[in-house]
């Protein structure tokens, strides 16, 4: 039969796709054992349909994939976040920026010692992880937004801060608490420690790596794992994430080609957080993807991420992260200034440009989730198409 739709919440079953044809008894068993109580079938499709129906499911077009991904992301984002008691506005951004300035020298010093062959004490990062965790709990988006603004000479260090913050925020969304949350943050902080001993000409190469250079870079999880073992203070979670954050659930990752349940929850979290921050960051050799576009592309990488972890991650960062450029139904362009914890599809924004008159307007703050606001999001816009230079200032991420 052809499954048309599962009843109930998309988060309550293990299926990423909502429409597919059952081909084997194993497919049926996955549904029977996957918590699905009811579903709809399409009687016009499927291998059980007599007559002219093909024994092969119809070809899936890129447009159909994009539509399905969009529906799935919006379904997840429309559900309330697990937390909504956070600071908002300039104060939270200022605190996050100050923490950023304190963090980079500490991480740079740790990486420098590792490059010199000195043992790395994971415990020296615990105080910094605690500060980052507190920042995330005050405002999940502030530090992550600030962390997008990486300078080329500090990318590796700021990437460590960003992944730490993302791991804490994602962990909270997944229900982790206390020590587990701290371990997730520390694992994010130290996941790329192996890059400290990668050849600088490979690590900082402004272009595509050769196969040989990529093989060298693929050794960084194992090198980092070795250094943490030598330090003797890293716990099992930190060691696991350092070694396995490049594994994929379909078994095509590295270094050990683990698959499915062979990969721990923390390593699956590390995989999502590491990739998201990497592809949304500006590097010397590439422009970072818009955060919303990054989520849509990641959603199409079937077999890369654990679906439930990725679904929780979407709720963590939001469909429209702070700093995203949106076109509203009124024709105004607006930048996202804060998330709406009850519905990530209706953020708080600052409208500043009229596409109808093709000119700037006095910035107007709008809460798209308010019953009094009639405007809605029409679509995302590419900042590169508009050449605005002050989006992060308008969003409150940077001061004028």
| Structural domains for the chain | 2-59 (no CATH), 90-317 (1.10.3210.10), 325-394 (no CATH)
Which residues does residue 351 pair with via DSSP β-bridges, in sequence order?
Answer: 334, 364
Q: Which helix (H) or strand (E) holds 348?
A: strand 348-354
CA 61/CA 42 separation, integer angstroms: 19
For the chain, how many residues are written? 400
Question: Is residue 28 within 8 Å of residue 21, measured between CB atoms?
Answer: no
CA 75/CA 18 separation, integer angstroms: 12
CA 75/CA 83 separation, integer angstroms: 18
Q: Which helix (H) or strand (E) holds 64?
A: helix 62-77
CA 266/CA 188 separation, integer angstroms: 9
Residue-by-residue pLDDT tens, the chain, 400 positions: 888 777 654 444 555 455 678 877 777 777 777 667 788 888 888 777 765 444 444 444 445 544 555 555 554 444 444 444 334 455 666 777 788 778 888 898 999 888 888 888 888 888 899 988 888 877 766 777 766 666 666 788 889 999 999 999 999 999 998 899 999 999 999 999 999 999 988 888 877 889 999 999 999 999 999 999 998 889 999 999 999 999 999 999 999 999 999 999 999 999 999 999 988 887 666 677 777 778 878 988 989 999 999 989 988 887 787 788 899 999 999 998 887 767 777 889 999 999 999 999 999 999 999 989 999 998 888 777 888 888 878 887 666 6
Tokens representing 157 are: 């260090």
């Amino acid at each position: 039969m052809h499954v048309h739709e599962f009843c109930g919440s998309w988060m309550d079953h293990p299926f990423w796709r909502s429409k597919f044809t059952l081909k084997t008894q194993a497919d049926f068993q996955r549904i029977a054992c996957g918590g699905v109580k009811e579903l709809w079938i399409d009687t016009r499709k499927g291998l059980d349909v007599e007559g002219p129906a093909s024994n092969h499911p119809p070809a899936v077009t890129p447009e159909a994939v994009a539509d399905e991904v969009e529906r799935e992301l919006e379904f997840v984002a429309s559900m309330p976040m697990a937390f909504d008691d956070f600071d908002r506005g300039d104060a939270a951004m200022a605190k996050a920026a100050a923490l950023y300035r304190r963090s980079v020298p500490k991480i740079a010093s740790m990486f420098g010692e590792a490059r010199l062959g000195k043992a790395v004490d994971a415990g020296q990062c615990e105080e910094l992880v605690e500060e980052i965790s507190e920042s995330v709990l005050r405002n999940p988006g502030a530090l992550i937004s600030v962390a997008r603004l990486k300078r080329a000479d500090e990318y590796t260090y700021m990437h460590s801060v960003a992944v730490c913050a993302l791991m804490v925020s994602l962990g909270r969304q997944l229900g982790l608490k206390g020590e587990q949350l701290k371990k997730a943050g520390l694992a994010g902080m130290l996941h790329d420690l192996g890059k400290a001993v990668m050849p600088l000409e490979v690590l900082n190469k402004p272009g595509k790596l050769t196969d040989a250079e990529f093989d060298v870079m693929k050794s960084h999880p194992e090198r980092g794992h070795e250094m943490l073992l030598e330090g003797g203070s890293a716990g099992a979670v930190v060691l696991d994430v350092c070694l396995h954050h490049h594994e994929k659930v379909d078994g095509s990752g590295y270094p050990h080609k683990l698959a499915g349940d062979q990969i721990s929850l923390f390593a699956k979290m590390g995989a999502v957080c590491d990739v998201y921050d990497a592809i949304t960051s500006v590097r010397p050799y590439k422009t970072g993807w818009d955060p919303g576009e990054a989520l849509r592309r990641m959603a199409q990488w079937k077999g890369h991420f654990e679906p439930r972890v990725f679904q929780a991650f979407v709720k963590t960062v939001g469909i429209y992260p702070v700093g995203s450029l949106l076109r509203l139904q009124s024709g105004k362009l607006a930048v996202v200034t804060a998330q709406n914890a009850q519905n990530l599809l209706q953020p708080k924004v600052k409208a500043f440009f009229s596409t109808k008159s093709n000119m700037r307007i006095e910035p107007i703050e709008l809460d798209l989730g308010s019953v009094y606001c009639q405007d809605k999001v029409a679509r995302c816009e590419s900042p590169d198409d508009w050449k605005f230079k002050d989006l992060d200032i308008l969003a409150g991420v940077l001061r004028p």
